[in-house]
Structures are given as structure tokens and as C-alpha cells.
Structure 1
Amino acid sequence: MPPLFKKILNTIPRPLLIRLSIIGRPLIAFFLKGSMYTDPINGKSYKKFLPYGYEVVRENVLSPGTLSLERHRLFWLYLKNETSFFSEKIKVLHFAPEQAFYKNFRKMKNLDYTTTDLNSPIADVKADICDLPFQNNEFDFIICNHVLEHIPDDTKAMQEIYRVLAPGGIAILQVPYKADLQKTFEDDTITDPKERAKIFGQYDHVRVYGMDYFTKLEGIGFKVEAVDYTKKLTTTEVEKYRLPKGELIPVCRKLVS
């Protein structure tokens, strides 16, 4: 199954994958019902999760009910337990909206919720992250997870996110990073999809972030807290929810001047 899964991920355009997953998700979830692992996003349990990955296929990580991955479930738990996201009236901007969150956030009455992306079929606003059609200081909370590694000019994208974030607001800017890599590696001469997948981990990534990612965000103007939320959870919870132990969540705040 993993080789076929990898081939599908690397050949079918992402917008089409999104549409196909919407159709097939309920059937897959039904056949995998069980009690071994739980998705905290929908509260449902399964005998196993699905494999996922481009170059390296990770076993037992993709929830069949919400299509959440490890990072999505970690992010959800952090939002639910450590923020007022689910109760406070706030204006939210969500880049490249993940299916794991989209329906839940859309129906939350406390959120003024806008999604944006260049290609996603479920985005409200089709926009370039480097040239956003929004006013300065417009949003109280911004979600931009696993997007910046796709953007050639990530500095400009970060500056735009900072611009549209309101003073006192929060942006969660997750990216794939290597904890053992100090300096981010990028090379814009690498354009072949297979070579990008080999070097950057995915055919449409343009860099591998190192630990200097957090420093770069600070250089944009954010006050950054690298949160290891799995430290607040038990080993049993980390395994039951299938979370990425030790992964840092970049919680970025725009200070009130």
C-alpha cells in the first residue's frame, strides 16, 4: 500500500485530491472504526489510522474521519486547551484551509472566518500570500500551517501575514522543520520535482527549514514562542492521539505598540 499511496500523492493534483477525499472519507472511516486510536478533532476512535507521506510514508498517522495528521491533532489540542479560540469573538484568516478544521471552524458562531488560497477549491478568497487583498491589522488570529515551505519568497509572505495581523493578535505558522538542522537550506536552482522531493522532502517544497525559522519570524517583528505542547500531555495521550512528540508550535504574536 505505501508505494501506491506515494504514487497517488505525487501524480494527482492537490485540488482533485481534496475533492476525492471528501467523497471517500466516510466509507474509509466506517471500515476502520475501533478503539485503539482517537482523533480529538471529532472524538471518534479507530482500530488504526492510515499511512501518509510523500518521500517517506509514515504509518498510522492519517485519521480516516477528519483526514487530520499528527500536526493537525496537536494544533487542535493546543487551540482547545490553551487559547480562547473556541469562545472569544475573533476575526480569523486561514491559509490553505485543511479539511481537518474547515467544517468545524466554519460553523463556530464566535468566529468571523475567512479562508484564502490560490488553488484550493474550498477557499473563500483566491489570493497570493505575498500580495494579500486585506487591510492592515485586519485579523485577530491567523492560521498558516505547512504553507511557507512552498513559497519562494517566504520573507514577503511573512511580512504580509504580519501586516494583516492586528496588534495583540496571534498567528500560528507551522512548517516542517528539522530539529537537527540549525540553518534553513534552500536552492532555487533545484526545480525538478523528483529532485525537490529527494532534497526538500516533497515535490512542491522549495526549502528545508532549520531551527533558525523561529529567529526569522522574530526578525519580521513577531514575538515568537516555540511551544512543545506534547510536554503537557501524558505518553498515553501522545500515542492514543498519534501526536508528533516534541514538535514545536510557532505561536507568533504582534505586539501592541
Structure 2
Amino acid sequence: MKRHRLLYHYLINNTELFSSKDSRNILHFAPEKAFYDILSKMEHLNYYPGDLEPENYKFYRKTNIYKVNITNLHFEDNFFDVILCNHVLEHIMEDEVAMAELYRVMKIGGWGIFQVPIDFHRDKTYEDPTKTTPDERYQAFGQLDHVRWYGIDYPERLKKAGFEVHDIRYTDQFTAEEKFKHGFPEKESIYLCYKR
């Protein structure tokens, strides 16, 4: 997918996640196979891929996928060096609770990337808890299982949980030709969050 290619490009070129040999605890929500295949083979990492429904994954290999509830994580405080949460929060009714849990389990000095779909024409995130059926949610939020459209206030929501947020307009760094060549989305930010 386009967003996976963009995230991989960012991680490989702007972080030491794949190049460092330091031992790290990594939490990865709703693990995409492409990232799972890389991270689960890195012997020095303590890799925790997790999902609310791990039984739905068909690519179990060395590392099992843990059953985790992002709004009630069973990990201790200050445990993870890195957290990857790619297009998960838009599915979570209590996203503020989820963000607080992400902050709690991240180590001081740790970092995470928390991607969500953004409507860049929307100043404020749109939510409506009365939209409960798949059809209503599709009409309101663009997908059957989404519960909101995040606006450009998304970084402020993360900051309320305690994070230092860097809104990196990553796709703006590439020409139209480069985005086409690499198969990147037309417009997507990287939301890099630190716990200081």
C-alpha cells in the first residue's frame, strides 16, 4: 500500500529502527505483514506485535501476535522504546484513552509513529457517536469501520495525552514524479511522537 511504502521510506531514512543493533522493546499494533516480516527476524529486538483479534492473522511465524486492547494495555509503565500504530486510532471510539495508554507504556525518551487518515481540509476532527451502522459510518467517515475523520487538529489531540509531537509533512519533500515513482500517497504527514 502507498502509506506502507511511505512509512518504510521514512523509517529506513530517518530513524535507526532497522539499522541499529541496540536491544529495544517494540510494540506494533495491527502489524502489517511487510513490517512484521522485517521486525520479527531482528534477533536483538523484543518485538511485540499486537491486535484485538490476533486469530485473524494468517502469517504467524517466529513471533506470535499478542492479544492487546489499545485502551487497556496489559504492559507495565515505561516499557517500550518504540511504538508503531499505523491507521488504528480512527477505529477506536475512546481514542483519548488509547493515546493515554500509548503514552503510559512508552519509555521516557522513547518514540512512536501514530498514523491516521487526515482530512487536510478539516480544521477539527469530526466525530458523531450516533453513527453506528456500517453504512452510516461509511457515509460519515469514508470507511465502514471508522468512527471519525481526523482533521489538522490531530497533533493537538496527541499533545493532550502528553506527547511531544512532530507533524512532518513528509510527502511535501518529494516531487510529483518522485511520488509516482515510489508509489507514495499524494499527501500524508508522519506523526512522530516522543515521551520526554
Same fold (TM over 0.5): yes
Aligned length in residues: 187
Q: Is contact 1:87-1:110 (8 Å) kept?
A: no
1:81 corresponding residue in structure 2: 13
Q: Could you tell me how far apart the structure 2 residues matched to 1:230 and 1:193 are?
A: 31
2:158 pairs with 1:217: yes
Aligned with residue 133 of structure 1, among 65, 70, 74:
74
1:109 corresponding residue in structure 2: 43
Q: Could you tell me how far apart the structure 1 residues matched to 2:171 and 2:148 are?
A: 26
Q: Bigger shift: 141-150 or 243-252?
A: 243-252
Larger radius of gyration: 1
**Aligned partner of residue 144 in structure 1, secondary structure:** strand
Q: RMSD of aligned C-alpha atoms? A: 1.3
Aligned with residue 120 of structure 1, among 48, 51, 54:
54
Percent identical: 47
2:136 corresponding residue in structure 1: 195
Q: Which runs of 5+ in 1 are unaligned?
A: 1-68
1:91 corresponding residue in structure 2: 25
Q: Could you tell me how far apart the structure 2 residues matched to 1:244 and 1:107 are?
A: 28
Q: Could you tell me how far apart the structure 2 residues matched to 1:237 and 1:102 are?
A: 26
Q: Could you tell me how far apart the structure 1 residues matched to 2:172 and 2:136 are?
A: 36
Per the TM alignment, residue 155 of structure 1 is displaced from its structure 2 partner at its CA by: 0.3
TM-score normalised per structure 1 = 0.70
Per the TM alignment, residue 105 of structure 1 is displaced from its structure 2 partner at its CA by: 1.3
Per the TM alignment, residue 100 of structure 1 is displaced from its structure 2 partner at its CA by: 2.3
TM-score normalised per structure 2 = 0.91
1:154 corresponding residue in structure 2: 95
Counterpart mapping for 1:31-46 below 5 A:
none
Q: Is contact 1:95-1:115 (8 Å) kept?
A: yes
Q: Bigger shift: 121-130 or 141-150?
A: 121-130
Q: Could you tell me how far apart the structure 1 residues matched to 2:10 and 2:48 are?
A: 21
Q: Could you tell me how far apart the structure 2 residues matched to 1:128 and 1:142 are?
A: 14
